[in-house]
A and B are shown apart, each in its own frame.
Chain A
């Protein structure tokens, strides 16, 4: 069964460092998403991506965040200068269409900022 894969599964970094989280969405999917979930809290939307550009982003997705699809398969989330409050589980997700299709999640990348 096709799946969304994410790397790394866990990353520990120092405050102020740059982090890149990687995702490989399901190959025939067109819409890509990043969500984050702070421990014990709800899943929060960060950004959606379609046709090689950001289609929507939340207030959380400020200038320290960026996304890219560098090679047609990977979908990356970059956090330029990490803060303590960026510690969370980051989930990548993809789906085939926007109308109503199921959103498939990766297993997540746990980011710990010290």
Chain B
């Protein structure tokens, strides 16, 4: 099993739609997680940190399910500017990255 697995997508959604996707991780001892977003050929930038059961920041909600070892990210009322690749990161000793989920929001 890979350390961090993500649904690669792409998720193509219209503006205003809700989109959600998951990330599974293999290390049950992992305590904290991040969602980063990466625009094409740019550096990853932090979207949200996830330390307990979840986190909410505006239109973005992250949920953590430790029993099933997955983290989800939900984007409500999606905007064109939300188009990006979303990287799930497990905060182990090296910070393990998933391969990313691509989201494209269309007008």
Contact = CB atoms under 8 A, between A and B. Distances in A.
A-B complex is real: yes
A45 B49 contact: no
Given A42-B98, A58-B94, 7 more contacts: A33-B95, A45-B96, A98-B93, A100-B31, A100-B49, A106-B43, A107-B43
Interface of A: 33, 35, 41-45, 48, 55-56, 58, 89, 91, 98-100, 102-108
Q: How large is the interface on B (under 10, 10 to 19, 20 to 34, 35 or more residues)?
A: 20 to 34
15 contacts: A35-B97, A42-B100, A43-B38, A43-B97, A45-B97, A48-B93, A48-B94, A89-B41, A99-B32, A100-B31, A100-B91, A103-B46, A103-B89, A103-B95, A106-B43
B45 interface: yes
Interface of B: 31-32, 34, 38, 41-46, 49, 51, 87, 89, 91, 93-100
B97 A105 contact: no
A42 B36 CA distance: 13
Contacts of A44: 97
B49 A105 contact: no
**Shortest 9 CB-CB contacts between residues of A and residues of B:** A105-B43, A42-B99, A43-B97, A100-B32, A45-B94, A102-B46, A56-B94, A107-B43, A56-B93
Nearest to B45: A105
